[in-house]
Chain A
């Protein structure tokens, strides 16, 4: 199983991870950062960088928690912890848009879609062979994909 590991001390707050996330999940058919609409709420980033209040930054990424608050609160079964790959996966068709996930996540990761019909969160760039776009875009190595062992090891 893989996880995105975060080293806040290395983060400069450049938000390259956010732009990369937006680019990786854009739905307008375009490609390349030049044409990515940075003002379109449909392109909202699934990660964010916040100030730590001490001059540094806290990168906030979905941790695909071992005991996920979001999946635990999900009544429709749209959010499920996949025990094989360790990811918290989302099935839009099952989602009732109740937003209990948004209420429950202690990191504030799940967001409400602009059309208020679904939730938005990190999918570990499941559609990209190279893995999460955010990690590849980070110039500082503040985020990295790490192998964390099998579920049975935990």
Chain B
């Protein structure tokens, strides 16, 4: 083992991984936690304003207003709304590219992996009269794109068709039906600029509009559009963790959120002529190794990609460790979470970095913009460059494999469709289990992974506490990566559940934590919740359903959170989203929201007490439903 860079790393819920990272000969995010330990109190509370050259202004008892006169409420609301707008922009970028990919696939009469998914979308949108499946794909994609490109003052049409009717009714009463999704982002960037809006209540209302457009389009529709091009998720067992990496292959680490941009290359990598090229270079062939949400998505649809996809190695904060193993030859990235911290590691270990989308351009990466028309020539170029990197680096860089990491039997491929099919084509069995109390309720443990207060520590602790209380956990996002690597998605994890949930898991052969894949799949959780609510004839806030983004990391997570609040769901966060400097904004998010949408934010950094609070909410909702 190499001498370690320094032994001061943050704790991880994944103890073997914590040891591995601690002994790495180079710096990672886990090391930098210590040097960034001192946080700015004004920043944490959201009362640092950098919107003009008079600033930065900070709020103190001696200085309750910035130079312009903005008070803590205005400053916090402005910063918060900017974050929601940016996060929404990220997801809207993803759905826009996904819809364009579907449209181009249709126009070029390309491969449609799930006609069922396409017909389902056409049904939802009310599209008729298509000449064939490709024409239908174009029409479906156009319906999405034309909504995204509407001005902010024109309501989007698909919201009413996709969202749950009682929710739409409430949203209309509140006046928060979103206009064109890109226009909404634009409008809120303007609104929160220097000396524009100072109305915290109006801004927080705008956040709900952004939340709806983010959730319905960026989350829900991205999944459904991808199902058409990439194939429907199927429930199966898969290996997870660093054991998935096979050094005999040319290994490509994929990072990002726009899975469909990889389709051409992904398919080519198993073609005979390309495999022959790999063999000529001394490898057995190519493998894709998953990291971040695009890996989660590929894992979710892994049944269609058993030959090329090796498995999901871990979440965003594992990527530096994965690259350090020496057997990764290239990083192919198209979105976040591609950490800047991978760059020095790629340089040192001669790992080729290629970026397909300028919004995620890494400083040291070669930029080969994804272009549908030239994807074949670009794809060949990318493949050749990766083979060159393999030849250049193998034998010259040290290997530091971690073949024991993770497990081989994580249940994946869970979606609104595959889960319902697993239950026999109806939600009734799940509803019956909830009504009888064998499953007390449902918790969505979603969102990111973070390290500042421990890598996945709160996510894992909270999840263990929830299943112990007979609450089944559904996951989506980098939370899935952490939870699967520690074994909570293996059938054996049933032993950690409370007696009732344990019996259910054993009978069905499932783990107590079900993996829906990428953060985008929060949209799938919403579909599950909606279908259950519809079957019961109730609105979403009445369900014994809670959400936690325990280790939310980024602006996208804040936009997801705004969607959760618009849906009327209780949302737990481990750390506050830079809001506590404003009493008004804090009150709106943690109390007043209940009377608006039914949702509310719950802040708690402790897994046990957070689980207590979420359990109490579930019990309250059960009581109100008389179950």
Residues on A close to B: CB < 8 A?
Answer: 14-16, 18-20, 22-23, 33-45, 137-139
Contact = CB atoms under 8 A, between A and B. Distances in A.
A16 B59 contact: no
A145 B410 CA distance: 53
B348 interface: no
A44 B581 CA distance: 15
Nearest to A20: B41
B53 interface: no
Contacts of B266: none
Given A15-B60, A44-B62, 6 more contacts: A14-B40, A20-B41, A33-B44, A36-B41, A39-B61, A44-B61
B40 A34 contact: no
Given A38-B72, A39-B72, A16 B41 contact: yes
A41 B41 CA distance: 17
B66 to A, nearest CB: 12
Given A39-B64, A39-B72, A19 B59 contact: no
Contacts of B41: 15-16, 19-20, 23, 33, 36, 38
B190 to A, nearest CB: 28
Contacts of B575: 34
A14 B41 CA distance: 9
Contacts of A36: 41, 45
Contact of A15 (B45, B58, B64, B583): B58
Contacts of B61: 22, 38-45
Contacts, number: 54
A38 B42 contact: yes
B626 interface: no
30 contacts: A15-B41, A15-B58, A15-B60, A16-B38, A19-B40, A19-B42, A20-B41, A33-B39, A33-B41, A33-B44, A34-B44, A34-B575, A34-B576, A34-B603, A36-B41, A36-B45, A38-B41, A38-B45, A38-B59, A38-B61, A38-B72, A38-B581, A39-B60, A39-B64, A41-B61, A44-B61, A44-B62, A45-B60, A45-B61, A139-B38
Interface of B: 38-42, 44-45, 47, 58-62, 64, 72, 575-576, 580-581, 583, 603
Nearest to A43: B61
Contact of A34 (B45, B59, B60): B45
A132 to B, nearest CB: 15
Nearest to A34: B580
B257 to A, nearest CB: 29
A30 to B, nearest CB: 11
A41 B44 CA distance: 20
Nearest to B576: A34
A42 to B, nearest CB: 8
Most chain B CB inside 10 Å of its own CB: which residue of A36, A38, A139: A38
Given A15-B60, A43-B61, A44-B61, A35 B38 contact: no
What are the nearest 3 A-B pairs in CB distance? A19-B41, A139-B38, A41-B61
